[in-house]
A and B are shown apart, each in its own frame.
Chain A
Amino acid sequence: MSLTKHLKIIAAGLSLTASGAMFAQFGAPTPDAMPFPMEFETSRDHYDYLLDHYKGGVQHDYLSVPKWEGLWSTGGNTGGNRPFVADGEIIEGVLTPEYEAAFKYRRDLGDQAFNAGVDYDRLTTCEPAGMPRWLLEPYVREFLNTPTYSLWHNDLANDTRRIYINQEHINIDGTHFATGDSIGFWAVDDELGDVLVVHTEDIYPADFFRGTPPTSNQAESVEIYYEYWDEENDQKRIGVNVYWYDDLALLEPLSLVYTYRPRPDMEAAGLRIRYWECAQNQNTYLTFDEEGRPNTQYRLPGDPGYLDPRGTPSTRNPDLPADLIGQDKSPVFDDQFDFAF
């Protein structure tokens, strides 16, 4: 390794340590974003830099791997439209010209719609949020860590990320994916304690959230997950600093922060994550006007195509007799409609 490289790493290491000190203010619900330790050509360079910085990381076993069980919801963050919009106007110089124009197009389209700003959401068609929106979906999620991989499940559309620990990227599918392909390593940071560094690539073009700029199929990310203590609420939280790279959409990579708060109140209420059937969303569907602008419509019982989320939808088991006893999905109540769908 060249001296120049050594010096760069030393300087970058100091930067990282200094950025870590910013997190000493653990009482704040939303930690400050970490600066970039240096300019990287690619997200993979950034990840490899961190792997060097943490000397290859640590190999946890089942006893030592950080436990983040339970239900969690999204907390404070710097995501959404914050990097892109101020005082209702698009911030210039963040997005590339093509993606800034696309964002304006999306916002203009929304302004023409009934609902004052958002007339389309890919979830209408039951697509999962995917990355990076996965980071911000507000409902309920689980973080399960093992020594060899982590399973992080967002209930919305059964959107599970799998982080393969101390492994390399694999893509035998020849395509991209909603949540991409993620690898990572655990390490111990002097300031943050246990951290999980994640690299994600092969991500579908998506969004930061509904009504935000789109991301491109070149987007990749480096994430640093850590625990911190929220003194204000006297609870442990999970924070993540996300470095978002997207050569087609962004002029410069972004550094964003997302946090997650535990939800023992939901657990106490009996909430358990169930399979997300998308039943109601199948009754919400896209329409297009004469100019091809998307809008949303809602099927009612009796409408063509209506799917009954509780009874015996016609699309389920079409290979069985329609009057077969015991095929209602929800026999808890006698709440069948007295007309057929």
Chain B
Amino acid sequence: MKISIKKLSMFIIAVLTFGVVDFASGHHSFAMFDRAREEVTSGEVVRWAFNSPHVALYIRDAAGDIYAYEGAAPASLVTRSEPMNGFSFQPGDSVDLVVCPLHDGRNGGAIGIIIKEDVWYMPNDGGCGPNLESWQDWMTKGYMSKQEAIDAGEEIEM
């Protein structure tokens, strides 16, 4: 198993040291999100708020509980590899998500990946940074979290 902590460290150092700024930057601290955890969840879209300064996706899970996940700035989503706008996710859509949950365990977190009708969207910013290729592989293997993948000996690419 190879965990590329070094790559993560280099990225963090680059951001902190060289002021590398791109659309992964957010408008506020990400202290409340547990970015070390990446977990799979699913549900029905209640609302997709394509609002400044951060988009937000609200879903209702199978138990009927509502979860709120924050993503990047709307302006940054329109030119991503799978572009998004305010109509991309509509009430009632079924979605699978990779998220970084809140540290305190409440029903929310940062969005990493949204999967809708087999299209993988990446509306994330610095609050959650899953590796798309890794998760496309891990989903087929049934992993429900990054930790499960690590425990199974998967290589972790940052």
Interface positions of A (Cβ within 8 A of B): 74, 77, 79-82, 85-88, 113-121, 123-124, 136, 138-140, 155-157, 208-212, 263, 265-266, 269-271, 274, 276-281, 284, 295-298, 300-302, 309-310, 330, 332-335, 337
Contact call B85/A120, Cβ cutoff below 8 A = no
Residues of B within 8 A of A139 (CB): 23, 73, 75-76
Contact call B28/A284, Cβ cutoff below 8 A = yes
Residues of A within 8 A of B47 (CB): 310, 333, 335, 337
CB distance from B64 to the nearest CB of A (A): 10
Contact call B78/A271, Cβ cutoff below 8 A = yes
Interface check B32, CB cutoff 8 A: yes
User: Does more than half of chain B's interface fall in helix, strand or loop, or is it mixed?
Assistant: loop
The 10 closest A-B pairs by CB, nearest first: A80-B19, A269-B78, A296-B29, A124-B28, A335-B47, A280-B54, A335-B91, A123-B27, A81-B19, A309-B51
CA distance A33 to B76 in the complex (A): 28
Closest A residue, CB atoms, query B34? A114
Residues of A within 8 A of B156 (CB): none
CA distance A79 to B58 in the complex (A): 36
CB distance from B134 to the nearest CB of A (A): 21
CB distance from A101 to the nearest CB of B (A): 18
Interface segment among B9-17, B113-121, B138-146, B147-155: the answer is B9-17
- A123-B28 in contact given A155-B52, A298-B70, A335-B46 (Cβ < 8 Å): yes
Interface positions of B (Cβ within 8 A of A): 12-13, 15-23, 25-35, 46-49, 51-56, 58, 66, 68, 70, 73-76, 78-79, 83, 85-86, 90-91, 102-103, 106-108
- A86-B17 in contact given A139-B73, A277-B51 (Cβ < 8 Å): yes
Residues of A within 8 A of B70 (CB): 280, 284, 298
B51 contact from A77, A82, A280, A337, Cβ within 8 A: A280
Residues of A within 8 A of B75 (CB): 139-140, 155, 266, 271
- A281-B54 in contact given A136-B21, A209-B21, A266-B79 (Cβ < 8 Å): yes
Which of B31, B46, B79 has the most A CB atoms < 10 Å from its CB?
B31
Contact call B16/A115, Cβ cutoff below 8 A = no
Besides A124-B28, A138-B22, A300-B107, 19 other A-B contacts (C-beta < 8 A): A80-B19, A81-B19, A116-B12, A117-B12, A118-B31, A123-B27, A123-B53, A136-B21, A266-B79, A270-B78, A276-B52, A279-B52, A284-B32, A284-B70, A295-B31, A309-B49, A335-B90, A337-B46, A337-B47
CB distance from B81 to the nearest CB of A (A): 12
B19 contact from A87, A209, A279, A297, Cβ within 8 A: A209
CB distance from B72 to the nearest CB of A (A): 10
CA distance A55 to B106 in the complex (A): 64
Contact call A211/B16, Cβ cutoff below 8 A = yes
- A310-B53 in contact given A298-B70, A300-B68 (Cβ < 8 Å): no
Residues of B within 8 A of A82 (CB): 18-19
Residues of A within 8 A of B33 (CB): 115, 298
Closest B residue, CB atoms, query A139? B75
| Between-chain CB contacts (< 8 Å), 29 pairs | A77-B19, A81-B18, A82-B18, A85-B17, A87-B17, A114-B31, A115-B29, A115-B31, A116-B12, A118-B16, A118-B31, A119-B29, A121-B28, A123-B27, A124-B27, A155-B75, A210-B25, A265-B79, A269-B83, A269-B85, A270-B78, A271-B78, A281-B28, A296-B30, A298-B70, A300-B108, A301-B66, A309-B51, A335-B91
